[in-house]
Chains A and B, each alone.
Chain A
Amino acid sequence: MTDLLTIAGRTFRSRLMIGTGKYATFQQMREALEASGAEIVTVAVRRVNLDRKEESLLDYIDLNRYFLLPNTAGCQTAEEAIRTARLARAAGLSDWVKLEVIPADNTLLPDPIATVEAAKTLVAEGFVVLPYTTDDHTVAKRLLDVGCATVMPFGSAIGTGLGLTSPDRLQRIIEVIGGQVPVVVDAGIGAPSDAALAMELGADAVLINTAIARAGDPVQMARAMAVGVEAGRMAYQARRMEKSTVASPSSPTVGRVGDK
């Protein structure tokens, strides 16, 4: 049985989405993408450097194989994010956008109100909107209500690798949103165990950049993350055992050597 991830009518086999930032070289990024098995790949939108010719990221990403998801990283207001999304769409690859509205306060935590505002406008303009959001379930519900194609709550702040600092809050989002649109845990994942936990909780996918790009061996870590996501997904489908505060032996309590 194939376990497909469906977003806005498009299906994917992989539940691991990968960012393309922070790699030492484009070649290393390409090898990590390959090792991860990811199909959705995020990119940023920036001014072309007119002072010197720079290598093109897209020369290292096979667009027949990977689905490019442009982000609005760096945008601090709804207006900036909408402008960047329009530019991304004008590049002619798709009308999907990973919406990020992040105030300049060094926390890299999203502005949920501006994110909902921007999402509303972009959905009305025909975009498929995948918003980066907080781990607040009411905000997630608002994003669902304005027509977002996913919700993407953080595990912890971008680039920290702290893992899932509030699994109970992610669990609540999954309870409120799950089954309506995919829940993608984005940001903060540091190790495959974090990715596995997100999937065990019932997340539909995870998005990882720094934990792979900044690992000692990014290609090996990309592979490890793919296995972590798969293990977590399988565990979720298998339904884990109930937790108990009382111990229970796994071996027979009768027939012990020397029993009277």
Chain B
Amino acid sequence: MTIVVNGRQRDITAGCTGVKLLEDLDLAAERIAVERNGEVMNRQTFAACTLAAGDVIEIVRFVGGG
């Protein structure tokens, strides 16, 4: 099934959890924040959730800025 991550379509297997997605994206050790379908989630809640087809996910991190 397909979800959208940071504006890009991505195929995932049915039953894929948030933690699995973060591992697949090599973000398991990063300090990130996640929004799922417009709702900001803390990492634990996102990690535990099962993703659904059509989910729109935003994953952000801190970068240099003023």
Question: A: which residues have CB within 8 A of B?
Answer: 19-23, 26, 29, 42-48, 50, 53, 56-58, 68, 70-71, 73, 83, 86-93, 158, 187, 207, 209-210
Minimum CB–CB distance from A26 to chain B (whole Å) comes to 8
Contact of A87 with B62 in the complex, beta carbons under 8 Å: no
Determine the residue in chain A with the shortest Cβ distance to B42.
A90
* Also in contact, A92 and B62, with CB within 8 A (given A47-B6, A50-B5, A86-B40): no
Q: Which residues of A contact B8 (CB under 8 A)?
A: 50
Residues of B within 8 A of A (CB): 5-8, 25-27, 30-35, 40-43, 58-66
CA distance A209 to B31 in the complex (A): 23
Q: Are B64 and A45 in contact (CB under 8 A)?
A: no
Q: Is the CB of A90 within 8 A of B33?
A: yes
What would 28 A/B residue contacts be, using CB atoms closer than 8 Å? A19-B64, A19-B65, A19-B66, A26-B64, A44-B64, A45-B33, A47-B59, A47-B60, A48-B6, A48-B25, A48-B27, A48-B32, A50-B25, A53-B26, A56-B61, A58-B62, A87-B60, A88-B33, A89-B40, A90-B34, A90-B41, A90-B43, A91-B33, A92-B31, A92-B33, A92-B42, A187-B66, A209-B65
Contact call A48/B30, Cβ cutoff below 8 A: yes
Chain A residues with Cβ under 8 A from B30's Cβ?
48, 56
Does the CB pair A20–B33 fall under 8 Å? Answer: no
**Inter-chain contact A42/B66, CB cutoff 8 Å:** yes
Q: In the complex, what's the smallest C-beta–C-beta distance from B44 to chain A, in angstroms?
A: 10
- A56-B30, A87-B33, A91-B33 known; A50 and B6 CB under 8 Å? yes
* A70→B64 contact, CB < 8 A: no
> Are B40 and A43 touching (Cβ within 8 A)?
no
Complex CA distance for A187 and B65, rounded to whole angstroms: 12
